[in-house]
Structure 1
Amino acid sequence: MSRDGGAGAPGVDPQQLWLTPVQPRRGRKPAYSREAITAAAVTLADTEGLDAVTMRKVAARVGAGVMSLYSYAPDKETLLNLMVDQVSGELPTTTTLTGDWRADLKALAHLQRALMLRHPWLPAALSARRIPGPNTLAFLEHALAALRPTGLDGRAKLEIFAQLTAFVAGHVAHEIAQAAASQSPDRAAAEARYLAAVAADGHHPELAEALSAPGRPLTPEATFTRFLNRLIDGLDTG
């Protein structure tokens, strides 16, 4: 689920990573594979966070020596690319497109959000430039097909997909942080009192007016949908 279709991160050769078969060391057949190593890293990130993903911990999960992993993933940057592409395989790429590109794009964004909520480390992993692997490319292809009715050129469609993915990643990262903060009701109450005091001081009339406006549904799904609609409905394809 790369933010664009360009080249990958420095030090990672895209062809070597995605087009060259893995060549494990000689000897007896290993009891693990690149897919198993990547899956172990994903599970580790899901349960303990991205910072917990180290070659040593991943090796322990698959029952391998650390050095033996390097023929499959020579460094953490390569491993992160493998992880991103593996979870991107959870995104459906054969759903029927309606021809209403805005509706289709919104549906794809909701799929991205659901994926990132299942794997909370993903927004952070996408903050760096990633090399699109086969699963990522399949979803990108599906998104570009959704944008075909716009009549935009290929570069513009890539930019829209990049903008959409960046929005979803940023929103989900904020959503996760807000959920964590809500676990502290005292902090939330203190913030509410502070904003009420600022709004009443006479120096922030615009903020006071905004805070006095009728409330809107604040469920995470409703908030995401509202922001997403503003983004996509406002896209100019002229």
Structure 2
Amino acid sequence: MPRDEGADAPGVDPQQLWLSPARPRRGRKPAYSREVITAAAVALADTEGLEAVTMRKVAARVGAGVMSLYSYAPDKETLLNLMVDHVSGELPTTNTLTGDWRTDLKAIAHLQRDLMLRHPWLPAALSTRRIPGPNTLAFLEHALAALRPTGLDGAAKLEIFAQLTAFVAGHVAYEIAQAEASRSPDRAAAEARYLAAVAADGNHPELAEALAAPGRPLTPEATFTRFLNRLVNGLDTD
């Protein structure tokens, strides 16, 4: 029996989700597939946001009855896992590695950022634990291969990849918020006036000095690259 969409799921069985056939267990030949339903959910999230993804809306997109979808995804938690792995299939996993692990790790981060900007709901979906599916595992395998030259043990390499992914997700969420704020020039001007007043009050000399420093390129790509370089260049492999 399907669970209420707003209720907490007791947990997704990874074997049931990823190793079982992607079709209903019994009954007549299915009219839909898990791939079609997942793609519809992704399209809905891309256009309306993650909060808009409900089984009812997904069913409407594919022209199915709500109850028929529960054979493929019994709850929203399962559907989110399917969605994350679906879009992870867009990440290339056959790129030739350079052997310079820092260079390769930065390239991986840029691929992740591009994916998250195409699917702005993804950072939020990654904010809770997800069960890696085949596409996610393929990209993880690629990242671990990039880290092989470090000589680190497996646990440390997994930690670095998790740290990198968390950084990219957090930064993209910030980018999206900044882009939304920039659509309100009055708000941006008010914030600039406020910071100028604070810097001039004599109580924040460090901030005043920082704000007076020469500016740096503020394009989203340049900002991301600077932050990424600081993170990856500072990683310790000892």
Q: Report the residue type matching 2:41 in the other structure.
A: A
Query: 2:98 is matched with which residue?
Result: 98
Equivalent position amino acid for 1:85 in 2:
D
Moved segments of 4+, more than 2 Å: 25-31
Give the unaligned 5+ runs of structure 1: 1-8
Q: Which amino acid aligns with 2:150?
A: T
> d(CA) in 1 for partners of 2:125 and 2:188?
28
| Structure 2: unaligned runs, 5 residues or longer | 1-8
1:177-214 Cα deviation digits (max 9, x unpaired): 00000000000000000000000000000000000000
Letter in 1 for 2:231: L
Conserved? CA contact 2:88–2:135, under 8 Å: yes
Residues of 1 paired with 2:25 and 2:10: CA distance?
25
Which residues of 2 match residues 53-92 of structure 1 at below 5 A? 53-92=53-92
The letter of the residue matching 2:212 is S
The amino acid across from 1:221 in the alignment is E
Specify the alignment match of 1:3 in structure 2.
none
The two structures, once aligned, show a CA RMSD in angstroms of: 1.0
The Cα of 1:62 is off from its aligned counterpart by 0.7
Deviations 1:60-115 (A, max 9, x none): 11111111111100000000000000000000000000000000000000000000
Give the counterpart letter for 1:67 in structure 2.
Answer: M
State how many pairs are aligned: 230
Q: Give the CA deviation at 1:26.
A: 4.3
Judged with a 3 Å threshold, the aligned counterparts in structure 2 of structure 1 residues 88 and 181 are, in CA distance, closer, same or farther, namely: same
Q: In the alignment, which residue of structure 1 is the partner of 2:17?
A: 17
| Identity within the alignment, % | 91
Shift of 1:30: 2.7
What are the superposed Cα offsets for residues 194-238 of structure 1, whole Å, 9 maximum, x if unpaired? 000000000000000000000000000000000000000000001
1:23-34 alignment to 2 at 5 Å?
23-24=23-24, 26-34=26-34
Residues 184/122 of structure 1: CA separation in 2 closer, same or farther (3 Å cut): same
Shift of 1:25: 5.6
Matches of 1:159 and 1:52, distance apart in 2: 32
State the structure with bigger RCO (CA 8 A, min sep 6), 1 or 2. 1
Q: Partner residue of 2:43?
A: 43
How far apart are residue 11 of structure 1 and its match?
A: 1.2
| Residue of structure 2 equivalent to 1:215 | 215
Alignment partner, residue 160 of structure 2: 160
In 1, the alpha carbon distance for the partners of 2:23 and 2:218 equals 51
TM-fit CA distance, 1:23: 3.9
Q: Is the Cα–Cα contact under 8 Å of residues 23 and 30 in structure 2 kept in the other structure? A: no
TM-score norm. by structure 2 comes to: 0.95
Corresponding position of 1:179: 179
Identify the residue that residue 236 of structure 1 maps to in structure 2: 236
Is the aligned partner of 1:227 residue 2:223?
no
Deviation of 1:24 after TM superposition, in Å, equals 1.7
Stretch moving more, 27-36 or 88-97 = 27-36
Give 2:191's aligned residue: 191
2-side partners of 1:49 and 1:29: how far apart? 32
Contact between 2:59 and 2:66, CA under 8 Å: does it hold in 1?
A: yes
In the TM superposition, residue 117 of structure 1 has moved relative to its aligned partner by: 0.1
